[in-house]
Structure 1
């Protein structure tokens, strides 16, 4: 009997693997047998439409290296962002619910800084399934920094101090500086991204699953791959402009 469906969102740090490690701990504590859980691992690869290897397939390989059977893993390889994670996972969860004789608990896993906004988006996209099946959803935070303005002030001070040490030891700080900026941009971009998705949800009054799917497929980056049955005019879309600007940078 299926008891748990875990959804691991895309965008994980592929070196530290905080979300994957949190999932492994959850499975260990739950002591589930093979038939009692499924894992949906999300993501194509950020905004890269032609990756050599999808982020979800790499995450799946990591899990299998740690003893998870391939039969328990479902790859969601179509999404390129958090909203896409939710929309495409919805289809998978709905199929699993129809096939199951029980109503499993849904467990969403991402880092703490990502969770509040991810939870809001999940609750909106999955509202129909929650109502129809009386779904219970849990939201499990992986270890991460709690991103806030205070965090960025501290982060800045740490980077400056490390830069000073690098300068004292080697005189060349370019590599470390580039790495620091890259990490910083990743976190602040993730933080900003979801706020803007939620802004667009309000602008376009997205309520039903079909609303979310059609909005998603109206975005130029998705529209190249999928067709919306009802296409939104995204002239006022803050999110579409952000994606365009990010891909040009």
Structure 2
């Protein structure tokens, strides 16, 4: 068995949303395991910084919810691009609904559609979609986000069965509230709407985790790294929570 430090040596990887948060942590972990990583995102500056820091080999600027640039052939795909907006359902207009589906579900499908033929031709591939505990349960005031993440899990399970005998696996990692810019924005919204201080607003999110804390991006990346590795060849169509025991 290859050592973990070289387990992915020579494999090419594409990480969407790779300029920050969970995507950046995944890019860093995959690079450390020997993969040649391309990060894709909407903003050039953080992508370039990721390459300069050694977290990735190269970058592409593009929007998974819009027009994608030509994507490289890859053996590993991590769909980490995502966004979260909150509103009561009756104040969730069509534009908000479409934004959540576009980036969290349709965009992931578009990227998979672009790279899957190469994986099937090579009979080698790992697709890991970053979903959320919102793919496994409901939360109030994020109906559009939860619907999109439930859809991403459904896509994962269906596609996993389609490609099961063709050398490709498809899995989801479902983080709980994670220390990212998205959660920082959620904390800021709670503070603005309720007048609470930062500690109280943070507690509103950490209370969901039985460990009483936010998940770290590196913990999510470790789960992704496992699913991309040779030891996970028989793991297919799963939703792997990284959430401290949240049910």
TM-score range, shorter chain: 0.3 to 0.5
Q: Which structure is higher in helix share? A: 1
Higher Rg: 1
Q: How high is the TM-score relative to the length of structure 1?
A: 0.38
